[in-house]
Amino acid sequence: MVLVKVTRNYQITIPAEFRKRLGIKEGDVLSLELRGDTIIVRKVVRQRRRIRLGKKLYPEDIERGIDRGSRECVQ
């Protein structure tokens, strides 16, 4: 058993051994479930559809696509 302390903002730190074992990284989403006086925490596994473009995509390409899409939505 591992003990963690609740901060004044009601936050806790997930111990490194737990994060490594579950593959939890910054930005991941966790679900919380309450069963009686027990809190159950689970890693949410979401699968994103991957698009294969056949070429490398650079941040500038993504920005241009967002700009283009924004202009199309306004018109």
What's the structural domain count of the chain?
1
**3-state percent breakdown (helix, strand, coil) of the chain, nearest 5:** 30, 15, 55
Band of pLDDT at residue 67, cut at 50, 70 and 90? confident
Domain-located, residue 67: no
pTM (2 decimals)? 0.56
Structural domain of 35: 1-46
Give the CATH number of the domain where residue 41 resides: 2.10.260.10
**Residue found under tokens 């596994």:** 45
Domain-located, residue 12: yes
Burial of 22 (0-12, 13-18, 19+ CB in 10 A): middle
Please tell me the predicted confidence (pLDDT) of residue 48. Answer: 66
Q: Round the average pLDDT of the chain to a whole number and report it.
A: 87
Share of the chain above pLDDT 90, in %: 51
Domain-located, residue 4: yes
